[in-house]
Amino acid sequence: MREDLTFEITRAYDLLPHVVGASWASVWFRMNKIRRPTKEQFREKVAEYFKMLEPLTNAFPANENFTEMTAYIKDKHADELRRILTGNNSEIEKRYKRYVDYG
């Protein structure tokens, strides 16, 4: 798929994991007075909130004009989830450090 077609979706997935996932996870830990979650606990909670965005992967019409884009979005969503859980999303790792340091 051409980059000009996927640019906006790629940019959204650059932001969604930490803007939604990490932000909601941080609030959850703060409200539950958990000041020092492990990295794994933080990643799991981020993933839990990020998974709530999964319905967005079906936002476009189910017709042939959007088949390739929908497949790209589903793959991108799964890849971002994997990156969160394996510690390969540098923004999530920064948010974890910030929460633990300043929580």
- The tally of domains found in the chain comes to 1
Residue 65 C-beta-side C-alpha neighbours within 13 Å = 2
Domain range spanning residue 59? 3-102
pTM above 0.85, yes or no: yes
C-alpha dihedral over 11, 14, 19, 23, to 10 degrees? Answer: 170
pLDDT digits (tens, 9 = 90+) for 38-96: 999 999 999 999 999 999 999 999 999 999 999 999 999 999 999 999 999 999 999 99
Q: Which pLDDT score is estimated for 57? A: 96
Q: 103 pLDDT exceeds 90? A: no
CA–CA distance, 1 with 44 (Å, rounded to integer):
31
Which stretches of 1-103 are DSSP H helices? 3-16, 23-31, 39-51, 67-86, 90-102
Q: Which pLDDT score is estimated for 2? A: 80
Q: What are phi and psi of 102, to 5 degrees?
A: -125, -10
pLDDT-derived band at 3, boundaries 50, 70, 90: confident
Residue 39 C-beta-side C-alpha neighbours within 13 Å = 11
DSSP 8-state code for residue 63: S
